[in-house]
A and B are shown apart, each in its own frame.
Chain A
């Protein structure tokens, strides 16, 4: 796709619909929409063969703002809607967009099963750690202790990790980025699209109204270098401007921080990222402060086929076993008798 000359491709703005975008001023969703438009342009995506599917919530307004086909469905059910679309029309490019409430609370079941089935979908979870559209209730990713409109005394439930959940569900593409990472995010979106199966991208997004600064421990310039671990396949797991790295822990299963000396990361025993290493991905997904948070593609290991293609192949094989089979023949498989006039 990237072979198409840049001038002949649709520009990012060409992917915007005629609808006025109605997110709050300063919402992280604007940046994500921009990154999606950029990714679609880089992919030279055909708007007529692209479908954005969503559930309910701020993030789920996404399809209205793109000039592709779009289906804004019901709360939590976008992965199931998208699965039906892919089963009917495997050739369509189908994206699913939802927030943390939509995809990790009411729709967690559908997310888990879309991932384990490996339906060829790009699934974007816009995680702002809050319910925005319903006015600020705690979500499954709201940190412990947070005071929200539904938890005035503070959250007492532990938050869940979208990336850990996806990996345990059997996802074969798991990535994470922050809304403000305008270089990394489109790159990841392009890769999620190209992954031939279910690809889950968690996008840490700032809600300026109800959870402003939820990700400030990653986004503040003063702490970013220490707090973020940017993953590159084959490259050492370095952060803090290369001064620190991650190596296998000596006395337990996991990762530990090591200072990188003048001899370099390899000498310090720093691991190199391998996107196909599920065990490493599980360890990376579990990193949380005070450890650096992993960003980029945690895991990418495509299966030979996807759910809808495997089902199609079964259908074709069943057809090939009984060529020309029709309903009239099937009906007459039972014993029949004839009454004459």
Chain B
């Protein structure tokens, strides 16, 4: 991936030649108490401010307070820095900063051969090595033979740097994350201004801590210039981006903002009802912190109460939203059926994780697709959407609200554990002006029937409190004309068809199928959905650059499928569907479109790499069709 070109660097280290690179993948790793995520966040910000593109992913331990020095207590942060648009956090790190042996042990298998490994030798004592599960010292036993290793006594240098700032021994050692950050910033030709500004805000009123962290940051940054070690120095240029104001956003933040924007566009109050579950809980926390915007958050007694309360809120004329993950989605199933039966708007955000059952709560997967599309008792159609990238959560949450309120239907929006925590730059959209899709409640008494459908098959929304329109709704089958309970055979057939057709007609209200890259004359198409967007986009771009006849099609609308999808796919010799499950979208496409979609499954709890998708593309195109 590295486009190597030696250049004389400008800026912080004028006398050292800097290697100009198209992209660099850096991973910071340490104990969960080492402040890795804080340092990573600041590295991302400095990168963004310097104009490079980036994608980041934090990897937290599943345990809340894992014992220090253990492999299961390792926290890491990966960033892909590039001078062009990138869509993944990078297959393999080029640089690993490991603050202890456990961090080295855990991250070693992911490194690119030849990668740079920065270690703190002060942490490689017998006890730490044993805790990390090293039988011998990896620095001397050949374990690191394939890598370039730099041993820098980070903690010791931090202590020296902060001496005289007035902090105690414990606080002095804790500043090592900023020392390491200072060094990594220097390595990438970034200054420390944005980090200093952050430190000033973070430690306002704590002058000693501010001075210590600032001193550590500065010492790490200057170390590159003054050290005897030949520390590699890179320059990654600016990426071309459309004009606008940007910030970085992770998937859960984007979803929260999108729900709020959608509620505003619909002119509705937002109720978010949820039950604690990993990794969806972050959405509850974010929205609970934004009550000042008028959002109501409700932590229910269980998953069923969460979705049911959301349905109650929608019935009463608010926007009811619930969110969950894994087994929590299974628990909501019956209530989704109720929402389909009573034809009320509801948005359900499923932050998918590895299953079945409890599975791997902190690991990502896309294995809830068929549950979302078909997994209910009865013929129970609803709308299913999926988020493509972290920032796309904003647009898709807004889209989920729009479709829910305008088609009086539950909408399941699929995200996943990777998207939830991964972050990328986001061009902040314009949010002023009139609501984009305001809801108009029905209030006309004349001819009112609670289930009378309009030309799209959509029934009126009449919240209680509407004068003169008191009526009853129920999960029992109801008469097509009057809405009263009905067990009439022909009526049930008619109502089943009406519910199906209503959802199928949503296809008129979404964009038709289109290719992201390539054209219909290519031989192979990769069909992605959800968070496979990033690796598929980059892998197809790279393959096309190699001259491969491969196109990329990405589905944000999973049910109903976009118009024209069957015809578009039928033109390709081969259709490959990479997904983090055992072939659910491939099965759906085969069943619905009668196309020979071939699944490419990955269920390791990790996203696809660009490399493995590139190999899959090459293999398909080298085989006879």
Q: Which residues of A contact B (CB under 8 A)?
A: 17, 19, 47-51, 53, 56, 63-64, 67-74, 77, 79-89, 91-92, 109-110, 112-113, 311, 314-315, 318-319, 321-322, 325-328, 330-332, 334-341
Closest to A68 in B: B470
Contact A81 B464, CB 8 Å, known A322-B292, A339-B246:
no
Q: Are A83 and B309 in contact (CB under 8 A)?
A: yes
Q: Which of chain B's residues has its CB closest to A327's CB?
A: B260
- In this assembly, does B17 line the interface, its C-beta being within 8 Å of a C-beta of chain A? no
B264 nearest CB across to chain A (Å):
7
Q: Let me know if A81 and B312 touch, CB within 8 A.
A: yes
B304 near A77 (CB under 8 angstroms)? yes
Which residues of chain B have a CB within 8 Å of any CB of chain A?
45, 48-49, 51, 194, 198, 241-249, 257, 260-261, 264, 269, 271, 273, 290-296, 298, 300-302, 304-306, 308-318, 320, 334-335, 337-338, 342, 428, 431-432, 463-476, 484-485
Of chain A, the residue at the smallest CB distance from B304 is: A77
Indicate which residue in B296, B306, B431 contacts A311 across the interface (CB closer than 8 Å): B296
Please tell me which one of the listed residues A72, A89, A318, A327 contacts residue B476 in the complex, with CB atoms under 8 A apart.
A72
Contact assessment for A341 and B271 in the assembled complex, using a CB-CB cutoff below 8 Å: no
Would you give the shortest CB distance from B453 to chain A, in whole angstroms? 20
Q: Is the CB of A77 within 8 A of B472?
A: no
Query: Whole-angstrom distance from the CB of B287 to the nearest CB of chain A?
Result: 11
Could you count the A-B residue pairs with CB atoms below 8 Å apart for me: how many are there?
207
- Most B C-beta atoms less than 10 A away, residue of A56, A74, A109: A74
Q: Smallest distance from the beta carbon of B79 to chain A beta carbons, Å?
A: 16
B468 to chain A, nearest CB (A): 7
A325–B473 Cα gap in the complex (Å)? 37
Chain B CB within 10 Å — which of A311, A322, A337 has the most? A337
* In contact, A49 and B464 (Cβ under 8 angstroms): yes
Q: Say whether B473 contacts A88, CB under 8 Å.
A: no
A91 to B465, CA, bound (A): 9
Partner of B301, one of A64, A109, A322, A335: A109
Inter-chain CA distance A51–B431, complex, in Å, is: 36
Q: Given A89-B464, A334-B247, is A74 in contact with B300 using a C-beta cutoff of 8 Å?
A: no
| CB of A83 to closest CB in B, whole Å | 5
A87 touches B293 (CB 8 A): no
B305 touches A80 (CB 8 A): yes
Of chain A, the residue at the smallest CB distance from B42 is A335
Q: A327-B257, A327-B293 are in contact. Are A71 and B315 (CB under 8 A)?
A: yes
A73 CA to B314 CA, complexed, in Å: 13
Q: How far is the CA of A49 from the CA of B317 in the complex (A)?
A: 13
New contact pairs (19) apart from A69-B472, A84-B298, CB-CB < 8 Å? A63-B472, A67-B470, A69-B471, A73-B338, A74-B334, A80-B306, A81-B315, A83-B298, A84-B308, A84-B320, A85-B312, A88-B314, A315-B291, A327-B431, A328-B431, A330-B290, A331-B431, A335-B194, A339-B245
- A84-B316, A319-B292, A337-B48 known; A74 and B464 CB under 8 Å? no
Given A80-B309, A327-B293: A88 in contact with B316 (beta carbons within 8 A): yes
Minimum CB–CB distance from A109 to chain B (whole Å) comes to 6
Contacts of B314 in A (CB 8 A): 84, 88
CB within 8 A of B465: which of A79, A89, A337?
A89
Task: List the A residue with the shortest CB-CB distance to B48.
Answer: A337
Known: A49-B465, A64-B485, A113-B301. A92 touches B316 (CB 8 A): yes
The answer to whether B296 and A87 have CB atoms under 8 Å apart is yes
Minimum distance in angstroms from B165 CB to a CB of chain A: 25
A residues less than 8 Å from B469 (CB atoms): 48
Q: Nearest Cβ in chain A — how far from B484, in angstroms?
A: 7
Write the chain B residue with the least CB distance to A319.
B292
Closest-by-CB residue of A relative to B244 is A339
Q: Which residues of A contact B474 (CB under 8 A)?
A: 63-64, 71-73
User: B residues within 8 A CB of A79?
Assistant: 305
CA distance A325 to B431 in the complex (A): 13
Which of B48, B261, B316, B431 meets A89, CB within 8 Å? Answer: B316
By a CB distance below 8 angstroms, the chain A residues around B45 are 335
CB atoms of B194 and A48 under 8 A apart: no
Q: Nearest B residue to A79 by beta-carbon distance?
A: B305
The contact sample of 8 A-B pairs, CB cut-off 8 A, is A63-B472, A64-B472, A71-B315, A71-B474, A74-B334, A84-B320, A330-B290, A335-B48
Chain A hits for B318, CB < 8 A: 87-89
A51 vs B463: C-alpha distance when bound (angstroms) = 10
* A80 lies within 8 A of B308 (CB): yes
- Hey, which chain B residues are within 8 Å of A315, CB to CB? 291, 294-296
CB contacts (< 8 Å) of B242 on chain A: these are 339
